[in-house]
Amino acid sequence: MADKFNFQNAIDKCKEAWSIFQKDMVNYGLTILLGSLAVSATFGVLSGPVMIGILKAVRKLQNDEKVEFNDAFSAMSYFTPSFLLSLIIGAVVGGIIAIFWILTIVIGAVTRGCGFCFMYPILVLVYIFSASIGQIIYFRGLLLISEEKASFGDALKRSVNWIKSDQKKAMEFFVSIILASLFMIIPVVGGIVAVGMIAIIATLYYDDDKQDNKKVSKKDVKQTESK
């Protein structure tokens, strides 16, 4: 039973993320705002390095350090791998949504509107699912690039494999993203909070995974020594 999905774990992660967010809410929020403006101004080109900068700000929050506005621009050295990761994930997620949107329009036209009523809810579900899975791969990939110096290809592969190998935590991560995204109901500020929360949640799951790997490694060493 311990290996099965637990909704409460997802809620607890959100609570922990909110607690970390509040450590320096104003500076962290302004960092996300400035980063978002830079990403918009460059039509998404800087999304990768800016998000790594925000993840670095998360580390500061975890270490009780003060977040600075320029943290959003502190990871430009990771531009190439983070840009490629952003490009590929954005293209795949956007392609999936585009295909279902076209199907929705075509079916709606053929059925004179009746099919649209049926397809639109499916389109919304596809958007939520694909966007959330994309964020899991994206954030884990960026953390691997920035903290383990992984290449673009290695980060992408390991992030996808993590979802396959640890479906329980991946599902909890997925639900945590959905819960954090509810903040987006609030105009402007809600979007900033949602991005900040998801970045923290991603870091928490990444840290949990590293801790689990350390425990497994220690267990393997003990078993080897006992033999």
Q: What is the pTM of this model?
A: 0.88
Could you tell me the two tokens for 45? 């080109």
* CA angle, 178 then 180 then 185, to 5°: 90
pLDDT at 123: 83
Please report, for residues 22, 113, 220, the alpha-carbon distance to residue 67 in angstroms, rounded to integers and kept in the order given.
Answer: 12, 51, 39
pLDDT computed for residue 31 by the predictor? 95
Cβ contacts of 4-12, under 8 Å, gap ≥ 24: 4/168, 5/168, 5/171, 5/172, 6/168, 6/172, 7/175, 9/172, 10/172, 10/173, 10/175, 10/176, 10/179, 11/179
Helix axes 25-41, 47-62, angle to 10 degrees: 170
Give the other-Cβ count within 10 Å of 124's Cβ: 12
Which tokens belong to 53? 């900068």
pLDDT for the residue numbered 1: 39
pLDDT at site 187: 86
E runs forming strands in 101-140: none
Rg (CA), the chain: 19
Q: Residues in the chain with pLDDT < 50?
A: 1-2, 221
Residues written for the chain: 227
